[in-house]
Structure 1
Amino acid sequence: MFQTRQLTGVGRAPGAAVRRQVTVPLRFPDGYASTARVFTFEGLADGREHLALGLGDWRGAATPLVRPHSECLTGDVFGSERCDCGPQLREAVERITESGGFVLYLRQEGRGIGLYAKLDAYALQDGGLDTYEANVALGHGEDERDYTAAAQMLRALGVERVTLLSNNPDKEEQLDQLGVTVVERVPTGVHVSPANVRYLAAKATRSAHTIDLPATR
């Protein structure tokens, strides 16, 4: 059963502020291009350097489409197929550019346990554990991510209501608890490969991700 945990910021998230914003043109390996207004922040609860990328008509969107995306060096940068993070990020940028909204790029690698520990967990997965069991075997929680900073970032941007682009119900639950109204949660695509099918199946069966895989039926 998926582990529950105490949030550090239950209730209305404490205040944060935008510290800088700059325009950054984006281009992905498949040639897709967009332009992001990239925001940095001060006063975030966890002290980390998270980013918000404003895409499309983010200023005019009544209910912006928002994806809180946890940093994944192996997937986002190196194209690892052990997860679906890189394709989800690429998909999110295009869909949010079309709709108007934000990618929140959150510095919480490996469900919050860090890069080295994530690679340690991979080694345990090679021995038969699933992604959640491996984290626990290393002395961590199944998922240590806390979305207080994400709620702070949205409020600093003047966003109170969002359409959430995510397969993960925990993100919706946390944001709602932190005072951000999730009007609707819409799933991302299913980006399956031979290397990540067990990983995706574990997310669907262990933490109720909205992922439709034959292996999980």
Structure 2
Amino acid sequence: MEISNQANLPTKFGNFIIQSFKEDNLEHLVIMTKELSRTPLVRIHSECLTGDVLASKKCDCGDELHIAMNRISKEKGMIIYLRQEGRGIGLFNKINAYALQDKGYDTVEANEALGFASDNRDYKIVGKILKHFNIDEICLLTNNPKKIEAISKFVSVKRDSIIATPNKYNKKYLMVKKQKLGHLL
């Protein structure tokens, strides 16, 4: 694993420190407050170009990222931004999954129709990042019980929910996350 230098990152949500962790040709980010609380508030956020950058209303990703940045800037913690687009299937395949969703597939059915699992993400790098910062307990901002289970292999996890306001474009998506993926919504 390669680790970049730290740099200041002033944002509309507050001032952060940013650092990159590179492994297996993937460059992940840590966006954190200058000081961390004893049990930092942590959001492990998988990249979603369409939601995070393009403000897509088909998902809740961009809204969750902004909620997390706002809370973390006030409560001291970090966002671990994983370069695992489309639940780990990549941007190209995610767009193909979107096309299937336009034909009536839900998010899980679309991934499976393309030959992928409903969630292909890997969280091993998170354990390495938390170890780098000597963190052994976190308050994890998530609704995903599988993420809690995966991260609990590395540190003690308390959970705090993160709820974005639904809209007419993502209601079915959120329902599928709850019913098929077990999200705590």
Same fold by TM-score, threshold 0.5 exceeded? yes
Residue matched to 1:7: none
SS of match in other structure, 2:152: helix
Q: Is the 8 A contact 2:63 2:164 kept in 1?
A: no
**CA distance in 1 between partners of 2:123 and 2:21 (Å):** 15
AA in 1 matched with 2:51:
G
* Cα distance, 1:121–1:55 mapped onto 2, change above 3 Å: same
Residue matched to 1:20: 5
**CA distance in 2 between partners of 1:17 and 1:108 (Å):** 18
* Cα distance, 1:51–1:198 mapped onto 2, change above 3 Å: same
SS of match in other structure, 1:20: coil
Q: How much does 1:122 deviate?
A: 1.0
SS of match in other structure, 1:83: coil
1:181 aligned to 2:166?
A: no
Q: How much does 1:17 deviate?
A: 6.2
Q: How much does 1:95 deviate?
A: 0.7
Residue matched to 1:144: 120
* Cα distance, 1:47–1:155 mapped onto 2, change above 3 Å: farther
1:209 aligned to 2:183?
A: yes
Q: Is the 8 A contact 1:76 1:85 kept in 2?
A: yes
SS of match in other structure, 2:112: helix
Q: How much does 1:136 deviate?
A: 0.6
Give 4+ residue runs of structure 1 displaced > 4 Å after superposition.
Answer: none
1:127 aligned to 2:107?
A: no
Tell me, which stretches of 5 or more residues in structure 2 are unaligned? none
Residue matched to 2:164: 190
1:49 aligned to 2:23?
A: no
Residue matched to 2:55: 79
Superposition map of 1:83-94 within 5 A: 83-94=59-70
* TM-score computed with the length of structure 1 as normaliser: 0.81
AA in 2 matched with 1:74:
T
Aligned residues: 185
* Cα distance, 1:150–1:94 mapped onto 2, change above 3 Å: same
1:69 aligned to 2:45?
A: yes
RMSD: 1.4
